[in-house]
Amino acid sequence: MKVLKASNYDDMSRKVANIISAQVILKPDARLGLATGTTPIGAYKQLINWYEKGDIDFSEVSTYNLDEYRGLGKDDPQSYRYFMDHTFFDHINIDKARTHVPDGTNPDAAAACAAYDKLVKSAGYTDLQLLGIGRNGHIGFNEPSDVFSKGTHCVDLTPSTIEANARLFDKAEDVPRQAYTMGVQTIMHAEMILVAASGADKAEAVRNMIEGPVTPECPASILQLHTNCVVVADDKALSQCTSMASV
Ligand code: F6R
């Protein structure tokens, strides 16, 4: 695991965008695993900016998002598909047919998850998987548990995740209670994993991810076992880490 220190959110966002940009320049038909949430918004903005300047071309790129709320579709402003379209895809020259998000509108959770897993696997998994990290150490919606998950599956969100996500909804009661998410094993198949983290509220999770034992109680800790994992975190997110050396 390689840890890159950023001075603040903007610096983190530029570094993350630079790494994604390099991936797309080196492999124009790259398969990118993407994340939603607050953390990657700055990186997406930076990538849009470079696209507008002609520095990066997404025409051959395909994308696979980590997760989607169960029951929400592309027209729902709270869905992750809507977020991706409006935050990123609508502003770059990506072929929308090559952008993939689990189908939250399929009420058959087992079928929706199996179809998504098959899709990601048959594509050959991702070249680069971008991840944020939850305050409880979750990646995707793989919440703390006593086992690491495998493929795409339906999860019950924990109270802390529902509370963290409530800021994006009018009322906490509106936050969906379930989501379809890539499993930890699917995530770990990525050639490279890029974790972005910013802010003091992530400091404990970031410390557990980098320095703690590898345990499903902190799902992100498994990334210590990935052979090509880069963490880009700002000072505040790294404030509880005792060692800043690559581990
Ligand atoms: C998003 C996702 C989540 C978030 C995490 C951090 O697709 O899978 O794991 O990355 O909850 O969210 P933010 O960035 O909003 O703090």
Higher pLDDT, 105 or 172: 105
Ligand 1 residue neighbourhood (C-beta within 6 Å) = 35-39, 66-67, 132-134, 138-141
Per-residue pLDDT tens over the stretch 165-206: 888 788 888 889 999 999 999 999 999 999 999 999 999 999
* Top mutation candidate among 34, 138, 167 for ligand 1, by most atoms within 8 Å of CB: 138
Catalytic residue at 60? Answer: no
The encoded tokens of residue 140 equal 């995707």
- H-helix or E-strand containing 181? strand 178-181
| Closest to 180 measured CA to CA, from 227, 242, 119, 237 | 119
What does the pLDDT read at residue 244? 65
How far away, in angstroms, is 35 Cα from ligand 1 center?
A: 7
Per-residue pLDDT tens over the stretch 37-94: 999 999 999 999 999 999 999 999 999 999 999 999 999 999 999 999 999 999 999 9
- 35 CA closest ligand 1 atom index: 7
For the cut 80, the answer to whether the pLDDT of residue 246 exceeds it is: no
- 199 CA closest ligand 1 atom index: 16
- Provide the mean pLDDT of the chain: 95
Per-residue pLDDT tens over the stretch 6-20: 999 999 999 999 999
Whole-prediction pTM value?
Answer: 0.96
Percent of the chain with pLDDT over 90: 89
Q: Three-class SS string for 95-151? A: CHHHEECCCCCCCCHHHHHHHHHHHHHHHCCCCEEEECCCCCCCECCECCCCCCCCC
Section 133-140 average pLDDT:
96
Q: Which of 65, 106, 136, 208 is catalytic?
A: 136
How far away, in angstroms, is 156 Cα from ligand 1 center?
A: 15
